[in-house]
Structure 1
Amino acid sequence: MLSFQLHYQLQFGDAIYISGDSDYFGNWSPLQAKRMKWNQGHLWTIDIPIHYFQYKYFVSSFNDPNSEEWEFGPNRLMRTTEPSCNHQLNLEKGIVDVWNHRKVMFQCYNPQQYPMFISGSSLDLGQNAKRVSMKQKQDISYKKILANVIEDKVVHYQFHVKTKKHYSSSILTLHLDSTISQNQNLDFSYKNYILAFCTGMEKIKRSIYQLDNHICYGYVPRDQNDFNLLRDANLHTIIEFSNQAEQAAHSIKFGEFNYFTLNFRSNMKGTYISNLSPLIQLLITKYHVNVKSNQQVIYICNNSLSHLRKYLQAYKSLSISK
């Protein structure tokens, strides 16, 4: 028997129902959904005798669930191997859900057990401002979060490994809107968590790095595979900082990409560090689009990441000091 809990305050006369994809719930029929029990503190509870299903909550009338207000986000997942599994899930109080939130587990294959970190656009992942340490279990590094599916319909995230050098994965994307529910597969879940799994730190040198919500950076794309990587990361505005004095600034458009080449030397004569901040701010203002709407940010590239990181770190310092 599984015990479910949900804290949510409703108007008098309404109730929380749980519905799902099994015969027990009538295969998503609101009329056969199970009404939860109200407890003091606006805590709704119910015991469910099945253990492998997708489910979701909705609000309706206490006596007649004929008009439903479904929660946002993809279907919730429950996947266990035993009918009596509160102990298997290590849940003393049962399964505690939060309205319009989803439990997500990020995993990365890490048999060497290097120190692993993750950064991303959601609050629990540091909102791209910091890296969050991951826990290790056997060959897997993992991080559990509770994602707000209204604010975080799309989560961009990136794994980081710390050895003698620091490496990062390419930017990955997790969709948490309702459109994925119909294609959702319980094979991509872990117990009652949505699972975001990375097989390993592949193509390290060609990785895309994220500076903040406005800027990604990395090496200059060389071939179709590199451009495919940028496309997958929704990076369509590419700005190359050229170190060649003889190369004039220019811009071209091919396919879905806008490619700009800036002569770093000619733009940075003399006090180039003091000119760096307004230059990047100009690029952001002209080409940046809000990340939360799942649109592009600018991608700055150079074939020397050490130089590029130095310039971008100087830019960050100037931006913070303002």
Structure 2
Amino acid sequence: MIHLKIQFKTEFGQAVYISGNSKYLGQWNPKQAIRMNWTENDIWEVEIAYHKIEYKYFISQYESIQTVLWESGPNRVTTKHTIDVWNYRKVCFQCLNPSNCLIYISGSPETLGKFQKRIRMKNKDGISQYTCLLDVADPQIQYQYHFLTKSEFSSPVQKLDLESEQSYYKDALLVYSDNLAKVKQMIFQLNKNICYGYVPQSKEDYRILKNFNLKTIVEFCNTQEKSLLEHQLQRDDCQHMIVNLYHFKQENFTQRLLQLIQIFIQKYQLIYICNNSLSHLRKYLQVYEKLSK
């Protein structure tokens, strides 16, 4: 038998029910759901036959199911005794780590350190992972990875929408990253608004940028043949804009560069600036940092 528990304080005359994808849980039909048993401290519990289940809780009238109020978030899964928290989900962050280097994770929720501390991920069989509880009602969950090798590298900050996650690892929602090695070579972070790196060339490059919420791409070039600003709509909802610095007058080059970057940040909040010469690009960004202080 599997023993499931959840704490929830209902109104008088209400009860907590559990429904799921098996015949024991009514095949997602609320009318055939199981009413859980109330115990002290508003703990509701139930025992069901052992099997892998996909399930959710809802609130309805105690005597007969009429109005149904489902809990928020994606479905739950388990094969073992579980103590759940209403509107929270267990989330497993995993990233490919064949070199078994030290990887830490940080994020905006309290269980991810509120970006004030980093949590070391566990390494096993070339995978680093960390599991925690997250509030599905939080629309602003953000997180990032930190590599410690000979030098330190932090991935761009990513946003997490728990409602859209559909993959599972054991009894947790799975958030998996398999391209961090390429990200480490491709993306560098200047500050909270600017990431930079090489110009994306392939569909995979654009997919990586999109996964890290870098959908606004600003490419700097210096070519006489091109106009000042060219717009290109690229794959995977990424907007790729080419800015030709050749047309900037030399006497006010630095000021125009500062104004241009500030305009992009005000409009898009997070931008990816790129050029196939990182040495030139870093010089431009050093000028920007110096003037923007």
| TM-score band w.r.t. shorter chain | 0.7 to 0.9
Q: Secondary structure at the match of 2:263?
A: helix
Following the alignment from structure 2 to structure 1, what is the Cα–Cα distance between the partners of residues 57 and 258? 48
Root mean square deviation, CA, Å: 4.1
TM superposition shift of 1:100: 1.6
Do the aligned partners of residues 169 and 73 (structure 1) sit closer, same or farther apart at CA in structure 2, a change above 3 Å counting? same
Following the alignment from structure 2 to structure 1, what is the Cα–Cα distance between the partners of residues 84 and 22? 19
Partner residue of 1:105 out of 87, 92, 114? 92
Do the aligned partners of residues 262 and 254 (structure 1) sit closer, same or farther apart at CA in structure 2, a change above 3 Å counting? closer
Q: Secondary structure at the match of 1:164?
A: coil
Instruction: Tell me the residue number matched to 1:62.
Output: 62
- Unpaired runs of 5+ residues, structure 1, are 87-94, 289-296
Instruction: Tell me the residue number matched to 2:230.
Output: 252
Q: Secondary structure at the match of 1:12?
A: coil
What amino acid maps onto 2:219 in structure 1?
A: E
TM-score (norm 1): 0.70
What amino acid maps onto 1:164 in structure 2?
A: K
What amino acid maps onto 1:44 in structure 2?
A: W
Instruction: Tell me the residue number matched to 1:217.
Output: 196
Partner residue of 2:148 out of 157, 162, 185? 162
Following the alignment from structure 1 to structure 2, what is the Cα–Cα distance between the partners of residues 22 and 317? 62
Instruction: Tell me the residue number matched to 1:285.
Output: 266
What amino acid maps onto 1:196 in structure 2?
A: V
Q: Secondary structure at the match of 2:15?
A: strand
Equivalent pair of 1:128/1:210 in contact (CA under 8 Å):
no
What amino acid maps onto 2:43 in structure 1?
A: L
| Deviation string, structure 1 residues 263-311 (Cα, Å, up to 9, x no partner) | 3996997996x998765443221234xxxxxxxx422224455776787
Following the alignment from structure 2 to structure 1, what is the Cα–Cα distance between the partners of residues 128 and 183? 18
Superposition pairs of residues 138-217 of structure 1, within 5 angstroms: 138-152=125-139, 158-167=144-153, 175-177=161-163, 184=166, 188-199=167-178, 201-204=180-183, 207-209=186-188, 214-217=193-196
Bigger shift: residues 28-37 or 248-257: 248-257
- Unpaired runs of 5+ residues, structure 2, are none
Aligned residues with identical type, % of pairs:
41
| Deviation string, structure 1 residues 105-140 (Cα, Å, up to 9, x no partner) | 011232432101235565644677875431223533
Following the alignment from structure 1 to structure 2, what is the Cα–Cα distance between the partners of residues 20 and 269? 69
What amino acid maps onto 1:251 in structure 2?
A: L
The structure with the largest helix share of the pair is 2
